[in-house]
Amino acid sequence: MTNNDTSEMDSNLIRSLSPSVGNFTVSLHYDKRLYKHDIRGSIAHAKMLAKQGIIESPESESICQGLAEIEEEITNGNFNWREDLEDIHMNIENRLLEKIGSVAGKLHTGRSRNDQVSTDMRMFVKDAVDITIKNLTSLQLELIGIAESHTRTVIPGYTHMQRAQPVLLSHHLMAYVEMFERDVERFTQTFQRTDVMPLGSGALAGLPYDMDREYSAHLLGFKNISNNSMDAVSDRDFLLDYMSAASICSMHLSRLSEEIVIWCTDEFSFIELATEYTTGSSLMPQKNNPDFAEIARGKVGRVYGNLMSLLTTLKALPLTYNRDLQEDKESFFDTYDTLNAILVVFKGMVHGMKVDADKTLAAANTGYMLATDFADYLVQKGLPFRESHHIVARLSNYCHSKQKTFSELTIEEYKQFSDKFDTDVYAITVESSIEARDVPGGTASSRVESAIQSALQRIKRSGRY
Ligand code: ARG
């Protein structure tokens, strides 16, 4: 190669910008993480060009060889990054020019950075979805494992943050497994909508070459090719899909975080986290803070913020490519990194969590958590529910004034409220309350056990783990 080759590219594509703009237009520091996808996309494109006779086969081979070497240089940290070349695409193309000379210039035949960058991002998102679904599934399996070992552990179930009815801890945990299953569904749909190749759209209008777009898509593992070149270069919905799925998923994680934080308090003491998932206080020696759960809960803010940021960038943007679109990457990458970091930490955190089953049972045994069961008892004896509800409300007030629990009442006391009460009323316990909820989706132990089995089967059938 000659020096002339390099300077030619420089002067054509890289204008010398006013020094006052600094690195305002530079995206290299964050888009360099697309290098593998960018090179894969370029190799497929070069192969397609040769197959179609748009460039010669030896030219294509030398381009592909050069690109493979560049990938190695980058992976091994031997690549000389140049900010003045702005982005990953120009850095790689320029390096190719240095390596193989002016034939490198043929790679960009029938391609624009507009369809190139969107193709790279779509490839990246497809991989990101795969990793996210793996991490989600592995957290689900962890929760299912805990649920399996707690199919007899009773905890108070809450509404309005007030003790409401006893439930199995496994039932509570399986609720999160369900939420994460819907998250997996959303990410799966994200994958399907992302699996569309923009390459071959050119800058915006399509290309005047005999391209075989299906062939490029096949080489790159895309299921479909885009239908409209203008949409293809300006669409970033697939990123919004990922980021909204991530927002909902991280919202689920924040709810679990919150429960973990609450369960760790002295007031609850339902669980203890492994010491490697808590931190001490620099001032108070007795503290074991659930920082991981708190940070996870806190990080959800930026996941929402990133979604809002990209929605705002895209708002009212006219067709087609506008440089605003370069702003899609940092918010997406941050969401991807943040969500997956939370998922990985969570798996470890819940794995080491110890449940104090005596404490949770004791908490479920206090107050009037079985009130509904007493109302249901009277219904079984023939009273309409509204009437039995009324009777049990009065009974609870009575207990409260006498400082007694239901089980401490004598049968005579019961009968003052309804003659339907009989000695079988003493058979109402926390366990009977739980086992009575024997409907699909209920907390009866057999129902929870089958929910666990079907969740495991669902995961197995999906082949995602
Ligand atoms: N760095 C740019 C981006 O991420 C690449 C595409 C540039 N296209 C252009 N017409 N300047 O969007």
Residue from 271, 174, 190 nearest 238 by CA:
190
Cα angle vertex 71, ends 70, 75, to 5°? 115
Please report whether residue 445 resides in a domain: no
Residues 95 and 38 in one domain: yes
What is the average pLDDT across 333-346?
A: 98
Q: What is the pLDDT of residue 4?
A: 43
Name which residue leads in pLDDT, 2 or 270.
270
318 in the same domain as 251: yes
310: nearest Cα among 231, 233, 238, 229: 238
The domain of 230 spans 114-362
Q: Residue 379 belongs to a domain with what CATH number?
A: 1.10.40.30
Grade residue 12 by pLDDT with cuts at 50, 70 and 90.
Answer: low
Ligand 1 is surrounded, with C-beta below 6 A, by: 27, 31, 87, 113-114, 117, 321, 323, 325-326
For residue 248, count other CB atoms closer than 10 A to its CB: 16
pLDDT of the residue at 11 = 55
- Asked, for residue 242, whether it belongs to a domain, the answer is yes
When mean pLDDT is compared across 69-78, 139-148, 360-369, 412-421, the lowest value belongs to 360-369
Residue whose token pair is 């779509």: 122
pLDDT class of 17 with cuts at 50, 70, 90 = confident
Calculate how far, in angstroms, residue 192's C-alpha sits from the geometric centre of ligand 1: 25
Please report the pLDDT score of residue 6 as a whole number: 47
pLDDT value at residue 14: 64
Question: Which of 362, 388, 409 marks a domain boundary?
Answer: 362
| CATH number of the domain within which 72 lies | 1.10.275.10
Mutate to test the pocket of ligand 1, among 114, 115, 120, 329 (most ligand atoms within 8 A of CB): 114
Q: Would residue 108 show up in a list of annotated catalytic residues for this protein?
A: no
Residue of 268, 239, 223, 219 whose CA lies nearest to 49: 219
Supply the CATH number for residue 267's domain. 1.20.200.10
Q: Is residue 147 part of a domain?
A: yes
207 Cα: distance to centroid of ligand 1 (angstroms)? 18
Q: Are 26 and 129 members of one domain?
A: no
* Same domain flag for 84 and 199: no
In a domain, 176, yes or no: yes
Q: What is the mean pLDDT of the chain?
A: 94
Residues 101 and 174 grouped into a single domain: no
For residue 439, being part of any structural domain is answered with: no
The predicted-structure confidence for 20-60, as pLDDT tens digits, reads as follows 777 899 999 999 999 999 999 999 999 999 999 999 999 99
Are both 88 and 142 inside the same structural domain? no
Q: For 5-9, 110-114, 409-413, which range has the lowest pLDDT when averaged over its residues?
A: 5-9
Same domain, residue pair 104 and 118: no
pLDDT given for residue 18 in this prediction: 74
Which residues pair with residue 272 across a beta bridge?
354
Shared domain for 178 and 311, answered yes or no, is yes
**Average of per-residue pLDDT across 284-297:** 87
Average pLDDT for residues 335-362, to the nearest whole number? 96
> Last residue of some domain: 362, 384, 405?
362
Domain annotation covers residue 87: yes
**pLDDT (tens digit, 9 = 90+) per residue, 371-411?**
999 999 999 999 999 999 999 999 999 999 999 989 899 99
**Which of 113, 122, 239 should be mutated for ligand 1, with most atoms under 8 A from CB?**
113
Asked if 251 and 340 sit in the same domain, the reply is: yes
Residues 124, 207 within the same domain: yes
Residue 361 in this model has a pLDDT that exceeds 70:
yes
Domain count, the chain: 3
Per-residue burial over 44-59, b if 16 or more Cβ lie within 10 Å, else e, is bbbbbbbeeebbeeeb
The per-residue pLDDT for 7 is: 45
Could you tell me the pLDDT band of residue 9, with boundaries at 50, 70 and 90? low
Q: Residue 18 C-alpha to ligand 1 middle, in angstroms?
A: 19
Q: How far apart are CA 308 and CA 240, in angstroms?
A: 9
Catalytic residue among 281, 407, 446, 454: 281
pLDDT over 60 (residue 132):
yes
Domain limit, last residue, from 332, 362, 392? 362
pLDDT given at position 353:
95
Q: Is the domain of 297 the same as that of 209?
A: yes
Q: What is the mean pLDDT of residues 84-99?
A: 97
* Active site annotation includes 160: yes
Identify whether residues 408 and 308 lie together within a single domain.
no
Quick one: CA torsion of 290, 292, 293, 296, rounded to 10 degrees?
150
> How close is the Cα of 382 to the center of ligand 1, in Å?
74
Residue nearest to atom 7 of ligand 1 (CA): 113
pTM of the predicted protein model: 0.94
